Every structure is written in C-alpha cells, then in structure tokens.
Amino acid sequence: MDNLFYNETELMLSKTVQDFAQDYLVPMAPILDEREEFPMENFHRLASMGLLGITIDEKYGGAGGGFKEFSIVTEEIAKACGATSAIYASHIGLVLQTIAKFGNEEQKSKFLPRLIDGTSIGAWGLTEPDSGSDVASMSTTCIPGDGIYRLNGTKHFITNGDVADTFVIFATQNRELKTKGVNCLVVDRDSPGFQTIKQDGKLGMKASTTAELVFENCSVPQENRLGEENTGFYAAMQILESSRIAIAAQSVGIGQACLEAATKHAITRKTFNNPIASYQAIQWMLADMATEIDAARLLTRRASILKDMNEPHNKEASMAKLFASEAANRAASKAVQILGGYGYFKSSHVERYFRDAKITEIYEGTSEIHRLIISRSIINSASAN
C-alpha cells in the first residue's frame, strides 16, 4: 500500500491482517476449496482478532472504524483466500450493516454482539430462484397477524446460508405494491417452518458455502422487523449500495494475488536460458495487471471515503465494483497465461484465483447492472444541469 493514501493506523491494520492471512489462511485455502467446507476456524480467528466488529459501534462490542478499514481488511483476506473474504464481506457488509443501520436499540443490542464475537454467523436473503436483480418481482411473502409474520417462499444462492443462525430476510406482504410492500425481518435458524438446503457444485469460492432457504408458514415475531413496515426495499438498496465497496476490495485482493504469483513465476521460470520476465510480452502483461489493480484500489478507496463521510456514493461504489471485478478477472486470466501449464493445475494458486474471480462480476449486481447505474447517474446529473 502507498503511504500517500493510507495513514499509519491503516498501514498497521493492513500489515496485521496480511501477516495473519499469509500464516493461517493461505495454507488452508486450497484444502477448504477442495472439500467445499466452510472455514469455521478462520471465522472464529477473525472474531478473536476483533475483525468481525469493524464498522460497528463499540457499545455493541464492535471495533468502530468505517468502510476504509473494512475495505483494507477485506482486500488482505481476499488476497489469501477468496472464499473467506466472501464470508467476511457478507457477514459484515450485508448482515451487520443492515441491523446496525435499520434496527432499533433493542434489536441492535440483541443481535449485534453475538454476530461480532463469532457466536452467531449471519446470512442475508434477498435473491430468489426467479428474482435476482429484479427485486420488485420477489415472491417470498410475509403476512402479518397475531403479533407474527408468516413467511412463505424460497431464497436462492445465499452465502453462509447452510451454517448461519441469524438471517436477514426480505419478503413482501403485498406483491401488488412491488417495491413499496417489502419488509426486512431477522429470522432465527430454529424458527418453525424454516429449513436450509446446501447448494454444492460452484465454480469458485467453494469454501464459502451457499444454500437455498425454504420458508413454509415460518413464524417470525413482528418485533424482528427492521425499520418501518414496507421499507424493506429501501433498506436493501441502501445496504447494497455500500456493500459493493467490499466486493470491489475483494476483487482488488484477488487481482493483487494474481499479480504477485505471476511476477514470482516470471522471475524464476526460464526459457531459452532466460527468465520469462525478460520478455516484453510478459512485461506488458504484468504492467497492465499492476496498473489496473492500482486503479481499482484507488476507486475503492474513493468510494469508501465517500461512504464514511456520509456523502452520496452510489455511482462511485458501482464504478469501483465494476472496474475492480473486471480487472480481477483480467488479472486472473493473465496470471494463468503467464504460468502456462502450471497455472492450469490445482497445484497452482492461480487456478483457484481464476475460478474465484468470476463471481465478482456477478454477485452484488452484475457488471451490466452497474453500467446502468453509472450511466443513469451521469445522464441524470447532466439533465439536472
């Protein structure tokens, strides 16, 4: 990291997490990937270091700080283990942020401490089998009555879903109202009428387990609703706007790992008695990777600063997420190319980076969705002037 853009405390945080990640996450990453096994030990180590409490007020057991710190930690974790960074980003960027931002004092005091100390794992349920980017078409319903909501429906592709015990779920109580009829509820795993089904067979991020959530007349107390009635869509959009910064940071971490692996190989690998780093073709690939990753990091930094200043950051977060995710995929492709046959086998970390990188262009809004967000922001701004 460049001292020009990061203060001493941030550099120290980066170094602390980097040392931890290299010592504990790197050795286990390929093993957990092969097993498609949730890294419970990694999760508890993050909790013991106080890293699950970043961005959350100390009165709830949090570590304070903002999205600048959150991005730094996420990048270093992703550089070592993409799957662990996905778990981390979802737990904090989606679950804790939603409760902290929209929960009342009683809800925050009840749910946040156990999510911060690692006693509880969080999952965030928005996506459905027939509803991804089109949130307004969600079919999961929550019908109020007698002090409870009755949930019916299915959520799909939910990170941490099979291991979590605290779920933030979005459901509609009136489908005709579309976005104006959505509620946000905290659901406990042991709620009657609720079950999870693990979804195996992912291309990458395999240790970041994914599940389908099924609700059949699931009973949820009305006091578990976050925010006012029918404001769930607004809450979801607010959280996604900022959580995309974490995915940008994750992408930067994966891209940086690709650059470092490719550079190391280029220096040590020889052809025709020369290291391949001496060839212009390789040099240009490394130059492009380094430039794009640095640009992605700066875009992420800008978005996180705006978020921490409570300034508008929707366009900037989308720019960071779009550019960083595509830069990570380009870096992963170039890393495999530079390593050649070695990069195509599992004995090479870049094979895993290549698979892990792809999802960053898909979740938390596809690249196409972010191009729409950015372009609309530009057009609306120009029209206002």
Tokens read off for 131: 């509803």
C-beta separation of 103 from 41 below 8 A? no
**Range 204-229 burial, b when 16+ CB lie within 10 A, else e:** bbbbbbbbbbbbeebbbeeebbbbee
C-beta separation of 278 from 285 below 8 A? no
134 φ, ψ to 5°? -90, 75
Q: Please give the helix or strand (H or E) that residue 198 lies within, else none.
A: strand 194-199
**Range 235-245 burial, b when 16+ CB lie within 10 A, else e:** bbebbbbbbbb
SS3 category, 280: helix
Alpha helices in 269-366, H assignment, sequence order: 280-308, 314-339, 349-358
Please indicate whether residue 229 is annotated as part of the active site. Answer: no
First-to-last C-alpha distance (Å) of the chain: 38
Checking 368-375 for CB contacts under 8 A at 24+ apart, the result is 369/133, 370/244, 370/318, 370/319, 370/321, 370/322, 371/322, 373/314, 373/315, 373/318, 374/315, 374/318, 374/319, 374/322
Distance between CA atoms of residues 124 and 334, nearest Å: 33
- Which residue in the list 10, 228, 364, 368 is annotated as catalytic? 364
SS3 category, 197: strand
Distance between CA atoms of residues 352 and 335, nearest Å: 11
Distance between CA atoms of residues 33 and 205, nearest Å: 7
* Residue in the structure block whose two tokens are 């990937």: 33
Active site residues: 364
